């Protein structure tokens, strides 16, 4: 049991490091796109997100939630799940930052608020769905009926 706890602790530390790389690469990209190039909030924020997400996916997939052996179909499943949760995250992140901006809080601060939310939100989704050690499989009615018997 202690070994498992240590493994989870190590994974959380690695996740926080990868998350920091995501945040700072996206934050710096946003500062350049917004502050230097003057792009609209939506364009600057989403472009910065894409840059940060590329960094994040590589670190999460190859380091934090790395599998010893990986099958091609499983890789596709991880990637498609990552893309799906990322689309949801884009919308939530933009809503957080835009809502705070409308309330008079700079998007630069809004990104820190958003990052706090996503630190917990994404760890749960990544660990138990996107990069799950044993991906969930749909069970047919027979499996459910046998279990109930």
- The closest alpha carbon to 51, from 74, 72, 33, belongs to 33
Please check whether residue 74 lies inside any domain of the structure.
Answer: yes
Please check whether residue 149 lies inside any domain of the structure.
Answer: no
Please check whether residue 2 lies inside any domain of the structure.
Answer: no
Please check whether residue 102 lies inside any domain of the structure.
Answer: yes
With a cut of 70, list the residues of the chain below it in pLDDT.
1-6, 68-74, 133-149
Please check whether residue 148 lies inside any domain of the structure.
Answer: no
Please check whether residue 26 lies inside any domain of the structure.
Answer: yes
Please check whether residue 115 lies inside any domain of the structure.
Answer: yes
- Enter the tokens of residue 14: 């690695």
Taking only the tens place, the pLDDT of each residue in 107-118 is: 999 999 999 999
Q: Domain of 54?
A: 8-134
Handedness of CA 35, 36, 38, 39 (dihedral sign): negative
- Enter the tokens of residue 106: 């700079």
Please state, in angstroms and as integers, the Cα–Cα distance from residue 17 to each residue in 3, 12, 14, 45, 86, following that order.
Answer: 21, 9, 5, 21, 19
Number of domains in the chain: 1
pLDDT of residue 142: 45
pTM of the model: 0.71
């Amino acid at each position: 049991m202690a070994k498992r706890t240590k493994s989870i602790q190590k994974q959380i530390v690695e996740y926080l490091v990868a998350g920091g790389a995501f945040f700072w690469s996206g934050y710096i990209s946003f500062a350049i796109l917004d502050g230097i190039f003057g792009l609209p909030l939506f364009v600057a924020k989403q472009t910065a997100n894409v840059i940060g997400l590329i960094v994040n996916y590589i670190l999460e997939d190859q380091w934090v939630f790395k599998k010893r052996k990986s099958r091609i179909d499983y890789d596709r499943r991880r990637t498609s799940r990552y893309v799906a949760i990322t689309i949801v995250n884009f919308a939530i992140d933009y809503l957080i930052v835009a809502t705070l901006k409308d309330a008079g809080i700079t998007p630069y601060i809004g990104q820190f608020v958003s990052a706090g939310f996503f630190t917990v939100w994404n760890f749960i989704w990544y660990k138990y769905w996107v990069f799950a050690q044993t991906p969930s499989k749909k069970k047919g009615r027979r499996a459910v009926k046998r279990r109930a018997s």
